[in-house]
Amino acid sequence: MENTLELTVSEEFNLERIDKFLIIAAETDFSRSYLQKLIKNGHITVNGNSTKQNYKVKTDDIVLITFPVMEKLDLEPENLPLNILFQDSDIAVIHKQPGLVVHPGAGNYSHTLVNALLFHIKDLSGIGGVERPGIVHRLDKDTEGLMIIAKNDNAHQKLVEMFTNRELTKEYHALVTGRPSSPEFKIEKSISRHPKFRYKMTINENGKYALTTGKIVQQWNSGDSVYSLLKLRIFTGRTHQIRVHLSSEGMPIIGDPIYSRKPERHGVKFLLLAATHLSFNHPVSGKNLDFSIDLPEHFNSFIKKIERNSSNED
């Protein structure tokens, strides 16, 4: 059975090449070569008509992707860098690098976290299915940070229950434009899929409840812009929760291709969001485990750049 994805081009993507638009707007893990192959084979149409790879989309264009039936993936272990912070017979905790796709999918059958896990960790749970062994939760491709991996089905099931019951402490750091209204703040806004732009989420009082709290770590005035480094905690796990919540408060994350305007102007390779702290009770032994990582290097590089042209307000 074929699956389809329909996207309406918003004004911010007007006159963008169609392959670049799809990579950013669909916010999927498709490679450009895979999308170009779909265009060549007639699986992507614009306003009902076939298109070309160099077509520049226009505001309100309707882009329809019809995905061919995926073959069952024969996943290969790959010796990719994998920073394992902890492991025993039940779980592993890893530090995922930015730019790494978590699991294989259309257009990305290799070079994913799952391929690395299959090489470095021999025992993985199967609850997530053949394409997602060991994967209990995920981070976006460009988000760096801490993840828990399940090594057997018993641990996997208990971890799912813990996530569902919000029994884990998850903290993030984000570097944003703008500043919160107070040093410590709470964002309590429900989130749902955007009714028109299906690749993004939006604030909707009829959506799913979402709660994020945060505090200012440091601020800078740089030229005509204000930047804030925030420490955040999420109490719910909605898709894009931090990104949507911060953007809704006028504080988009730097480099966010979906929820900030002209993300390329800051010249960062990855959006400046990282999962930096994770605390939970071991799903089998019950022992408390606590993990933290330093601020990522791509954060520090951007901070050095703005500090050269700013007055510090910490």
CA dist 258 and 274 (Å) reads: 17
- Alpha carbon dihedral 275, 277, 279, 283, in 10-degree steps, equals 40
- Output the pTM of the full model: 0.75
Q: Which CATH number fits domain 169-278+292-312: 1.10.10.10, 3.30.2350.10, 3.40.640.10, 3.30.390.10?
A: 3.30.2350.10
CA dist 236 and 238 (Å) reads: 6
Strand ranges (E), the chain: 3-8, 44-46, 49-50, 62-67, 83-87, 91-96, 144-150, 169-177, 184-188, 191-193, 201-203, 211-222, 225-234, 273-281, 288-292, 310-312
Each domain of the chain, given as residue ranges in start order, spans 3-67, 83-164, 169-278+292-312
Nearest to 175 by CA among 289, 312, 270, 95: 270
Known catalytic residues?
140
| Domains 3-67 and 83-164 in one fold | no
- The superfamily CATH assigns to domain 3-67 is RNA-binding S4 domain (3.10.290.10)
**Residues present in the chain in total:** 314
CA dist 154 and 78 (Å) reads: 26
pLDDT tens, residue order, the chain (314 aa):
456 777 788 776 789 889 878 876 654 445 677 788 889 999 999 999 999 989 999 999 998 888 776 555 567 888 999 999 999 999 999 999 998 888 666 556 678 888 888 889 878 876 555 556 778 888 888 899 999 999 988 888 788 778 867 889 999 999 999 999 999 999 999 998 888 776 789 999 988 889 999 999 999 998 778 999 999 999 887 889 999 999 999 999 999 988 988 778 888 999 999 999 999 999 999 999 999 999 999 999 999 999 987 755 55
Query: Does domain 83-164 bear CATH number 3.30.2350.10?
Result: yes
- Do the Cβ atoms of 137 and 234 come closer than 8 Å? no
